Structure 1
Amino acid sequence: MTEAHAEPGPPPPLPKGGLRVTPLGGLGAIGRNMTVFEYDGKLLIVDCGVLFPDVDQPGVDLILPDFTSILPRLADVQAIVLTHGHEDHIGAVPYLLAHKPDIPLVGSKFTLALVEAKLAERRITPYELMVAEGQTERLGPFECEFFAVNHSIPDALAVAIKTGAGTVLHTGDFKMDQLPLDGRITDLAGMARLGSEGVDLLLSDSTNAEVPGFVAPERQIGPVLDSIFRDAKGRIIVASFASHVHRVQQVLDSARSHGRKVIFIGRSMVRNMGIARDLGLLQIPHGLVVPMEEVRDLRPDEVVLMSTGSQGEPMSALGRMATGDHRHITIEPGDTIVLASSLVPGNETAVYRVINQLARAGATVVHKDVAKVHVSGHAPAGELLYLLNTVKPRNVMPVHGEWRHLRAHARLAIQSGVPADRVVLCEDGDVVDLVEGHARVVGHVKSRYVYVDGLAVGDVGESLLTERKMLGDGGFISATVVVDSVTGKVVGGPTVSAKGFSEDPSAFNAVLPLVEEALDRAAADGITDPHQLQQILRRTVGRWVNDKYRRRPMIVPTVLEV
């Protein structure tokens, strides 16, 4: 198994006739998927997504791939190929096009429609090339052939990238549901044909590589939802991904069967389902979906609310319902809440917090641990092996997953017969060259997390996040003193105040004499520099807080000279 060294250096020039593959996201975490291909001096990007922050990144809205390595070469980018419309694959497109709006976007009808809606908010009109399965397009020196894949969103595609250096198959996210609701199965026949022609490198979805067996059909969800609708006496609130058109269709079908009206809640849910309806991907009988204003005129047993928030996001519609902050909906005893989604790794704590809040309010909460209300959109180990044996790639590079997923996928590749030295395990930023049929790591480019905080992009760094965590964990202490600018002696203060540390107004009385004593000693030693006095102030207060409370708040010392 080929792995990058802990800190590989910058990559050498790409050998003539070689293909360079640089993942800028999607490895080691579920999100911000982005891979850059280079051949004959030109670049092709596959996917450009975001990662959602966790509790260790307070105040962060989104995390982007690091574009640093390609910004000087945006003129060489032939296109951005989008495999499907999930945020972790398209969410960063507006941020990249902000640098060069005329980079062509290539994707399926539904994927491009979702991207268009995002770009319209930023007044960017993209150059687009709509493609479908079975289609082949030449994008500069890259010949791209597209294959249908089944996933938890319509119109997902895999892409084969053909160059003089060899053929790469990028699966995007996929599974092999043999009875999909839309009848669109993963094109194994096409991939087998491609494999017979020769696949030099396979980049394949690793999310469920640890899960044995094969995925359950989506069709199994419908009867379960139907039984929940039949038994529910009050309102039903279903939370799902805002892009899961098939799941929403199942909810609409059950609602119609049981005489309930459906209300879409959440900006992204309303927008995406409107797009899906307009494209004919979602069938909504006349009068079934009604506006929020009509809820008050309906009995509880006539209502289904289709909401966002299945991942415990605090600002989502369901998250605000759980905390009692939603403008229109208050959870009441008798409500039935259905979380029709799987847990994205890292979101478990947030989801179970919402479940507990909903249960406390008296609702009955149904989730995948207690009923089959969701199946994953990613291929488990049995299907990954099936693909490996069908395509027979010469080299394999697991993508889209945490490290445990990538390693599990690598083991599957070796078990299927791929030589261990042809299985490449990478981190974001590692540079892989495919030369003479052999893929190996040759270097590394910068690939840090780029944080979005409100309208600021990249202004938040790790040091600032450390300060925010310190504030959240220990609170804030401000220590201020006024000194004579000549002698350094205290002429005012000291005063110590705090936020988020203690509610006792006299908590800092004991430290004031210690501060005065430390500053008097400094003045006697001839120390008058404000910066040095600030450090003395910080150390004195910090040592006292640690000795008395065993806590480490943020301490901000201020020395004013007069």
Structure 2
Amino acid sequence: MALQIENNEVAVFAIGGLGEIGKNMYVIQYQNELVIVDAGIKFPEDDLLGIDYVISDYQYLIENQEKIKGLFITHGHEDHIGGIPFLLQKIPNIPIYAGPLATALIKGKLEERGLLNSTEIHVLQEDDFVKFNYLSVEFFRTTHSIPDTLGIAVHTPQGVIIQTGDYKFDFTPVGNQPAPNLQKMAKLGSEGVLLLLSDSTNAEIPTFSKSERFVGNTIHQIVERIDGRIIFATFASNLYRVSQAIDAAMQNGRKVAVFGRSMEQTIVNGRELGYLNIPDSELVDAAEINKLPANKVLLLCTGSQGEPMAALSRIANGTHRQIAIQPGDTVIFSSNPIPGNTISVNHLINSLEEAGANVIHGKINNIHASGHGGQEEQKLMLRLIQPKYFMPIHGEYRMLKIHTGLAQLCGVPKENTFIFDNGDVLALTANSARKAGHVPAGDVYIDSNGIDDIDNIVIHDRQMLSEEGLVIVVATIDYHKGLVLSGPDILSRGFVYMRESSTLISQAQKRAFHVIKNYLDQRNEEKTPKNRNFESILKRDIIDDLQEFLYRKTERHPVILPMIISTKV
């Protein structure tokens, strides 16, 4: 699959991350060299039944894999690294470049799938410079809700292209993390930037995002005034939040117990990399919890997004082997629901309240700060980088549109701004920019078995089954004699209650019988030769007839599944 670009043009496009929150994946290509920035997943909306993750369509990369020089990671969140194992299963030999924490998280994912030993991984520092024949890559430090976040600058023969990654300007970061490197951003800007791709998530927020340190103060105040046991739930990857929860617990004489595999791994990675300073004496295991007074324990766990199998959900519904909600427990949600998870989170909060816990959540309690910059930070980035062309990324359409308006206020001409869809290709030279075709960039669905070939037809069928139910038509036929030997019998699941719908079922049986009989009569009269598709034609006829009949009677569209048992063909 060839791009519609000239030999001297640089191609820039998103395989994921435009018009959506999640599955960030961006490509910069010049001639026979191609670099990828991030490879994330998206969490499914509620209508994607049975789907665990949504990833990008890697078809273009598969067809052009000999051009790929490396996968560069901005930071270690799932919407930026979650797709890496699936990408490497398709294209095994992609070198990965990532910061220390992202590297640790990626290694964990690859080890689970048996891909670690076959993958080339380079640990990045801000001052590293990776050079290929035509393209070269350097980095600048940003701040986000996870350590080791990097913006990426790709030098091309036509100019510098910058991808900010997720960022905010937190000038009082937690722990030993340095502040964002404004000097390096300004230096890149003063030397000339051809194109800026910038995070748009909080384009609707007119102010600066709160510092993570502000949230830390709130957490300390809340922990200080609670008498009973505390269950603290947040993203396992938010090391800053985890660190502040642990600090608050230790300052108030509470021991910390950790639940959830990803949270346990976060503690291991954080301690090894120096982001978490927790003496062994402050950590207790599950067996010791019940031996301590309630006001001397803080349980740190996963599940703040309502994930059914996460620790907090199992605690709420009473299926956790070691922990149950007790009267006087306080559960702190230190995160906001990500798109698609609001209903699950609300259900979890209700379950916890019903079990007797006091739940603290929401923005009004100041226990969460976004890792994404608001409009003032987006304008600051634009002023520092001073791009000639601008493409907003990482956001839904309305966010991209607002961000584009900010770019124009900051001096980027309107004709130099581009709101694209996934797959749209921007072709650039030092003095020109144009849309140049489209590459495949649809959604690919991953179920619990890790299967990634679930198409839209399957998703549609699952939705129909959940909303309209299932009707099964079973008949035994002798094709040679042209006889219906038994049936058709009709079974309903989730459509109508059989005992109360005998008239409807009887009418449907008669219609199905007539469809089958007419088909057999016509087949015998025409002496139709044996055809591999004859049974599929009959099934299609049954489906068409019953769909029209059942909708007329019930105004519902159940999934109709004919099962034809033949004695002779």
TM-score under structure 2 length normalisation? 0.92
Please tell me whether the aligned partners of residues 488 and 512 of structure 2 are also in contact (alpha carbons under 8 angstroms): no
Distance 2:355 2:293 in 1: 19
Distance 1:98 1:234 in 2: 47
Distance 2:103 2:430 in 1: 35
Q: CA deviation at 1:231?
A: 2.4
Q: Secondary structure at the match of 2:377?
A: helix
User: Is residue 555 from structure 1 mapped to residue 546 from structure 2 by the alignment?
Assistant: no
User: Is residue 45 from structure 1 mapped to residue 36 from structure 2 by the alignment?
Assistant: yes
Distance 1:103 1:530 in 2: 47
Q: CA deviation at 1:34?
A: 0.8
User: Is residue 28 from structure 1 mapped to residue 33 from structure 2 by the alignment?
Assistant: no
Residue 517 and residue 167 in structure 1: after superposition, are their counterparts in 2 closer, same or farther (change >3 A)? closer
Q: CA deviation at 1:271?
A: 0.9
Residue 188 and residue 429 in structure 1: after superposition, are their counterparts in 2 closer, same or farther (change >3 A)? same
Corresponding letter in the other structure for 1:40: Q
Distance 2:130 2:540 in 1: 63
1:301-332 deviation line (CA, Å, top 9, x unaligned): 22211111112222222222233332222223
User: Is residue 527 from structure 1 mapped to residue 518 from structure 2 by the alignment?
Assistant: no
Q: Secondary structure at the match of 2:382?
A: helix
Q: CA deviation at 1:118?
A: 1.2
1:315-371 deviation line (CA, Å, top 9, x unaligned): 222222233332222223321111111232232222222112212222111112330
Q: CA deviation at 1:76?
A: 1.8
Alignment correspondent of 1:170: 163
Please tell me whether the aligned partners of residues 107 and 131 of structure 1 are also in contact (alpha carbons under 8 angstroms): yes
Q: Secondary structure at the match of 1:394?
A: strand
1:519-549 deviation line (CA, Å, top 9, x unaligned): 3476367235644543443345434433443
2:151 to 143, 146, 158: 158
Alignment correspondent of 2:97: 106
Once the two structures are superposed, the pairs formed by residues 77-476 of structure 1 within 5 Å of their partners are: 77-124=68-115, 125=117, 126-182=119-175, 183-476=177-470
1:174-219 deviation line (CA, Å, top 9, x unaligned): 0001111134211111111111100110010110011111111111
Q: CA deviation at 1:506?
A: 4.9
* Most deviating of 25-34 and 139-148: 139-148
1:263-293 deviation line (CA, Å, top 9, x unaligned): 1111111112211111111111231111222
Distance 1:12 1:524 in 2: 53
Structure 1: where are the runs of 5+ without partners? 1-9
Alignment correspondent of 1:59: 50
Q: CA deviation at 1:408?
A: 1.2
Structure 2: where are the runs of 5+ without partners? 524-533
* Most deviating of 551-560 and 111-120: 551-560
Alignment correspondent of 2:526: none
Q: CA deviation at 1:407?
A: 1.0
Distance 2:375 2:158 in 1: 29
Residue 497 and residue 41 in structure 1: after superposition, are their counterparts in 2 closer, same or farther (change >3 A)? same
Distance 1:350 1:499 in 2: 26
Residue 517 and residue 238 in structure 1: after superposition, are their counterparts in 2 closer, same or farther (change >3 A)? closer
Corresponding letter in the other structure for 1:79: G
Please tell me whether the aligned partners of residues 21 and 395 of structure 2 are also in contact (alpha carbons under 8 angstroms): yes
* Most deviating of 462-471 and 336-345: 336-345
1:102-138 deviation line (CA, Å, top 9, x unaligned): 3211111111111111111222222122221233221
Distance 1:181 1:66 in 2: 37
Once the two structures are superposed, the pairs formed by residues 472-511 of structure 1 within 5 Å of their partners are: 472-486=466-480, 488-511=482-505
Distance 1:81 1:452 in 2: 23
* Most deviating of 387-396 and 134-143: 134-143
Alignment correspondent of 1:3: none
* Most deviating of 132-141 and 306-315: 132-141
Q: CA deviation at 1:223?
A: 2.4
* Most deviating of 515-524 and 237-246: 515-524
Residue 136 and residue 531 in structure 1: after superposition, are their counterparts in 2 closer, same or farther (change >3 A)? closer
Distance 1:388 1:348 in 2: 32
Residue 535 and residue 144 in structure 1: after superposition, are their counterparts in 2 closer, same or farther (change >3 A)? closer
Q: CA deviation at 1:51?
A: 1.1
Residue 409 and residue 264 in structure 1: after superposition, are their counterparts in 2 closer, same or farther (change >3 A)? same
Q: CA deviation at 1:448?
A: 1.4
Distance 1:201 1:446 in 2: 22
Distance 1:12 1:348 in 2: 39
Please tell me whether the aligned partners of residues 477 and 497 of structure 1 are also in contact (alpha carbons under 8 angstroms): yes
Distance 1:143 1:34 in 2: 18
Please tell me whether the aligned partners of residues 330 and 358 of structure 2 are also in contact (alpha carbons under 8 angstroms): yes
Residue 13 and residue 520 in structure 1: after superposition, are their counterparts in 2 closer, same or farther (change >3 A)? closer
Distance 1:545 1:237 in 2: 51
Corresponding letter in the other structure for 2:543: R
Residue 488 and residue 151 in structure 1: after superposition, are their counterparts in 2 closer, same or farther (change >3 A)? same
Alignment correspondent of 1:4: none
RMSD: 2.0
Q: Secondary structure at the match of 2:282?
A: coil
Residue 59 and residue 424 in structure 1: after superposition, are their counterparts in 2 closer, same or farther (change >3 A)? same
* Most deviating of 507-516 and 88-97: 507-516
Q: CA deviation at 1:36?
A: 1.2
1:214-255 deviation line (CA, Å, top 9, x unaligned): 111111112221222122232211111111111111111111
Q: CA deviation at 1:373?
A: 0.3
The percent identity for this pair of structures is 37
Residue 484 and residue 51 in structure 1: after superposition, are their counterparts in 2 closer, same or farther (change >3 A)? same
Residue 559 and residue 318 in structure 1: after superposition, are their counterparts in 2 closer, same or farther (change >3 A)? same
Alignment correspondent of 2:531: none
* Most deviating of 82-91 and 472-481: 472-481
Alignment correspondent of 1:6: none
Corresponding letter in the other structure for 2:136: E
Q: Secondary structure at the match of 1:204?
A: strand
Distance 2:102 2:294 in 1: 36
- Matched residue count: 553
Residue 335 and residue 521 in structure 1: after superposition, are their counterparts in 2 closer, same or farther (change >3 A)? closer
Corresponding letter in the other structure for 1:527: Q
